[in-house]
Amino acid sequence: MNILLGDIVVSLQGAGFVQESEHSVYPVFVTEAPPDLCVDLHVGREPIGSWVESRVLGAAVVDGRTRLRVERTEGSLDLPLSCDRAELRLRGPWPRALDSLLSTLVQVAALLLERGLVLHASAVTRGGRALVFTGRSGAGKSTAAASGARANWRTVAEDMTYVALPDGSAPEVRPLPFWQRGGTLTSPERLPVDRVCYLRKAAEDRVWTLTDGQGVRRLLETVSVGVRDPVTMTAAAAAAVRLAQSAPVVDLDFTRACTFWPLMH
């Protein structure tokens, strides 16, 4: 089946088990568009109870710096830097394990194909536009997004946000088909980015305008590169510059009461 990961169409071979899972939203992201990247999926037979935690065991660019290899507790990813065909191996038919490896895949592919970037961020939408909340770990990204319901904003991403950077048009949030801790259900959407807000907890609500250079530094603090290697970090820097030049990046100081929403108009 061909599925949308952000604005990248992935041909996923051997993933019938995700269509049968009641917890999977992959079927909503199936598309008839031609693939940008083909993924061969090999699934083992281990019961899901044997997967205790998801963590990286090793990650490196190998084979004369032509391929990316990632080993995780739940499986492995082998991706040529040309991003034309990848191989995923899962220890068992676990949809969340597939999420984990595909999230690494899309983080790297978005950068190397120069399609966009994935931020450690939440995102909300109202009236066809999107706000992105990013910041350091514990900054309140999920809290800020959830509080938007009181102001009629709808959450589309809780902790991982794909921002497409199409040539000649505004950046767009493109929801991803992955499980989200808070239960947010996603679907394919194209939501122009109104602004990217770097969150900081404070005693009062305030928005601080940033220069392009300051915005790039904020984005580089929170961009998800999949594997920290010079090739991915260089691509991340270029993507951060493109985003900062095409959408406002601001510092948002906010209080525990999350009363900052009038500042978002």
pLDDT on residue 19: 61
pTM for this predicted structure: 0.94
Question: Token pair for residue 254?
Answer: 């906010």
Q: Which whole number is the average pLDDT over 102-111?
A: 95
Q: Which whole number is the average pLDDT over 110-119?
A: 97
Mean pLDDT of the chain, nearest integer: 91
**Cα 146 to chain center, whole Å?**
18
Contact 43/199 with Cβ under 8 angstroms? Answer: no
pLDDT tens column, 15-64: 777 766 655 788 899 999 999 999 999 998 887 665 557 788 888 888 88
Contact 84/78 with Cβ under 8 angstroms? Answer: no
SS3 label, residue 96? helix
Sorted by where each begins, the domain ranges of the chain are: 2-113, 118-264
Question: Which phi and psi angles does 215 have, rounded to 5°?
Answer: -60, -40
- Describe the strand order of the beta sheet including 75-80 as a list of residue ranges: 2-5, 8-13, 37-43, 85-90, 75-80, 67-72, 56-62
Q: Which of 185, 207, 204 is nearest to 196 (CA)?
A: 207
User: How far is residue 141's CA from residue 31's CA, in Å, rounded to a whole number?
Assistant: 30
Percent of the chain at pLDDT > 90 equals 71
Say which CATH architecture domain 118-264 belongs to: Alpha-Beta Complex (3.90)
Radius of gyration of the chain (CA): 18
Q: Which of 34, 11, 260 is nearest to 150 (CA)?
A: 260
Q: Which whole number is the average pLDDT over 60-83?
A: 90
Q: How many CB atoms lie under 10 A from the CB of residue 136?
A: 13
pLDDT tens column, 129-184: 999 999 998 899 999 999 999 899 999 999 999 999 999 899 999 999 998 888 88
